[in-house]
């Protein structure tokens, strides 16, 4: 099958942003940026040198006292202006994200809208980072509790939501009064840089944000070894997150770790099965399954299981796979060949161990990194895909008998980012709310995130939260003041 692939749109050459200067690829090591829909190189991303990183660190240290003194009201105005610029340039920024990592253009536009909402929310919430004044109890002594910016920070994120991750990392730090050195994924640099450009043009002073690229371990080791950095925020895999926490521990840096998941979905027999199927297929194959909270392990109660399998497979087979620039595309390619190879290996292993392949299970097209929406049923626990996060377009379907069985299956992995359940029973909902181990639990919906609520996991899925007041508080230190 040949997939029509649109011609590459105009691509903005990636640069480094260091102390207000935009720096190109001249006389530097670079890595290619590849359009995953056709495998063609569309640009090259420059790698930061040790000297570049030292310059970014020095700028962050220099600007921290000035940026924190600007105050949350003016910082909020700058963030809102940046959000307005992103709206004005929305189509161009969304096209960059589609070109770099393959998601359908409609999904990239949604990502941009959500990202700007988060910028706007932090712009407003930063004005409410006050402490408290407790009643005195020692004569004339008065106590107060103050919230202050923690200091220069470092942010690292994956490539799957290049617009949203950039807004979330830089926006939160800036709102709290903290400079940030941000390293996005090298696979999708231009869309993250477009966010940074909006922030700079909105009035963020030179040096308050820097954006760097390079070999991830080299960049992270250099930044985390510096005493200038007081806080790190990471979105990515569990192994890398553990590595960064160990590096941060040497100097007791604050950490927020939003790591991988393997989200269970518990479907009880009293749920509206057609509605659950419609929601599940849409969310499973969103962003080609390359989402940390993607529903993956579907456990369906015995009485509903067979019909659910049939309905899921039938819907998966109707998904139109193609170039994200094509308005008819429902699912784009995987970000690169390595991810496609990993998914292919997991599916083959599951089938070899007895899983039933109900849909997909094959590459699509002659170019690019396309893989068909895939549905597996009756997958044994010994299959790798039952314990390794697939991070791709594969749904795994198994059955359960009762609520105890369902909860045991949902909780048996070391991950605990997102989980979902569908039932009309109030008693079950209360039981699930108490006993399912996850940082986020969606009941009768996959909608688990908005700017006002924390986003984060438990167990090996991370520590701390992003967005919500909790996300802002992660960039603030608490000081108790006693005055007599």
Q: Where in the chain is the domain with CATH 3.40.605.10?
A: 16-259+461-483
- pLDDT value at 130 more than 90: no
Residue 136 has pLDDT above 90, yes or no: no
Phi, psi (rounded to 5 degrees) for 84:
-65, -40
Q: Model's pTM, two decimal places? A: 0.94
Q: What is the pLDDT of residues 350-404, one digit of tens each?
A: 999 999 999 999 999 989 999 999 999 999 999 999 999 999 999 999 999 999 9
Are the C-beta atoms of residues 222 and 50 closer than 8 Å to each other? Answer: yes
pLDDT reported for residue 140:
86
Sequence-ordered list of residues with C-beta below 8 angstroms from that of 319, at least 6 positions apart, any chain: 281, 285, 330, 331, 373
**Cβ distance 455 to 449 under 8 Å?**
yes
User: Does the annotation mark 309 as catalytic?
Assistant: no
Could you report the per-residue pLDDT of 445-481, keeping only the tens digit for each?
A: 999 999 999 999 999 999 999 999 999 999 999 999 9
Pinpoint the residues of the chain covered by CATH 3.40.309.10: 263-454
The phi and psi torsions of 463 (rounded to 5 degrees) equal: -145, 145
Instruction: List the strands of the sheet with 254-258, edge to edge.
Output: 21-23, 16-18, 209-211, 180-183, 153-157, 231-235, 254-258, 462-463
Q: Are 315 and 307 in contact (CB under 8 A)?
A: no
Residues in the chain: 484
Please state, for a pLDDT cut of 90, what percent of the chain lies above it. 94
CATH number of 16-259+461-483: 3.40.605.10
> Considering 63, 292, 309, 466, which one is annotated as catalytic?
292
Residue 292: active-site member: yes
Average pLDDT over residues 328-335: 97
pLDDT of residue 3: 44
Query: What pLDDT does residue 133 have?
Result: 93
- What is the gyration radius of the CA atoms in the chain, in angstroms? 23
Q: C-alpha angle 69/74/76, rounded to 5°?
A: 115
pLDDT in tens, 52-77: 999 999 999 999 999 999 999 999 99
pLDDT level of residue 139 (50, 70, 90 thresholds): confident
CATH ID of 263-454, from 3.40.50.1950, 3.40.640.10, 3.40.309.10, 3.30.420.40: 3.40.309.10
Q: Which positions ≥6 away from 163 have C-beta within 8 Å? A: 93, 94, 97, 108, 111, 112, 115, 191, 192, 194, 195
Grade residue 132 by pLDDT with cuts at 50, 70 and 90: very high
Per the prediction, the chain carries an average pLDDT of: 95
- Which of 258, 389, 437, 460 is catalytic? The answer is 258
């Amino acid at each position: 099958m040949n997939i029509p692939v649109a011609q590459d749109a105009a691509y903005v050459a990636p640069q480094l942003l260091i102390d207000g200067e935009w720096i190109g690829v001249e006389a530097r090591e670079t890595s290619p940026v590849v359009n995953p829909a056709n495998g063609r190189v569309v640009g090259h991303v420059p790698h930061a040198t040790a000297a570049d990183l030292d310059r970014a660190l020095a700028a962050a240290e220099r600007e921290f006292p000035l940026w924190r003194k600007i105050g949350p009201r003016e910082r909020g105005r700058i963030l809102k202006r940046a959000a307005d610029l992103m709206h004005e340039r929305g189509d161009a920024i969304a096209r960059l994200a589609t070109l770099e990592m393959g998601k359908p253009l409609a999904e990239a536009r949604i990502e941009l809208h959500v990202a700007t909402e988060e910028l706007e929310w932090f712009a407003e919430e930063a004005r409410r980072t006050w402490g408290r004044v407790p009643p005195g109890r020692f004569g004339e002594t008065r106590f107060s509790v103050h919230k202050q910016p923690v200091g220069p920070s470092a942010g690292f994120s994956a490539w799957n939501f290049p617009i949203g991750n950039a807004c979330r990392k830089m926006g939160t730090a800036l709102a709290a009064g903290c400079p940030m050195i941000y390293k996005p994924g090298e696979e999708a640099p231009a869309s993250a840089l477009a966010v940074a450009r909006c922030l700079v043009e909105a009035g963020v002073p030179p040096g308050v944000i820097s954006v760097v690229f390079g070999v991830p371990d080299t960049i992270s080791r250099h930044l985390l070894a510096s005493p200038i950095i007081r806080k790190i925020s990471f979105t990515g895999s569990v192994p890398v997150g553990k590595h960064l926490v160990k590096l941060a521990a040497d100097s007791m840096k604050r950490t927020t770790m939003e790591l991988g998941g393997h989200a269970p979905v518990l479907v009880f027999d009293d749920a509206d099965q057609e509605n659950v199927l419609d929601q599940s297929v849409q969310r499973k194959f969103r962003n080609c399954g390359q989402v940390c909270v993607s529903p993956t392990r579907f456990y369906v109660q015995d009485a509903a299981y067979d019909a659910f399998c049939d309905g899921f497979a039938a819907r998966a087979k109707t998904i139109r796979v193609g170039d994200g620039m094509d308005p008819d595309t429902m699912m784009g390619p995987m970000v690169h060949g390595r991810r496609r190879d990993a998914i292919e290996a997991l599916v083959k292993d599951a089938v070899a161990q007895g899983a039933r392949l109900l849909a997909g299970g094959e590459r699509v097209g002659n170019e690019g990194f396309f893989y068909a929406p895939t549905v597996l049923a009756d997958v044994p626990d010994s299959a790798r895909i039952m314990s390794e996060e697939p991070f791709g377009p594969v749904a795994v379907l198994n059955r359960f008998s009762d609520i105890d069985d369902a909860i045991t299956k949902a909780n048996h992995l070391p991950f605990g980012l997102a989980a979902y359940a569908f039932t009309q029973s109030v008693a079950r909902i209360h039981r699930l709310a108490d006993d399912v181990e996850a940082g986020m639990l969606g009941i009768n919906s996959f909608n688990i995130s908005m700017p006002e609520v924390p986003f984060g996991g438990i167990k090996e899925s991370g520590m701390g939260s992003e967005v919500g007041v909790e996300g802002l508080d992660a960039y603030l230190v608490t000081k108790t003041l006693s005055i007599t």
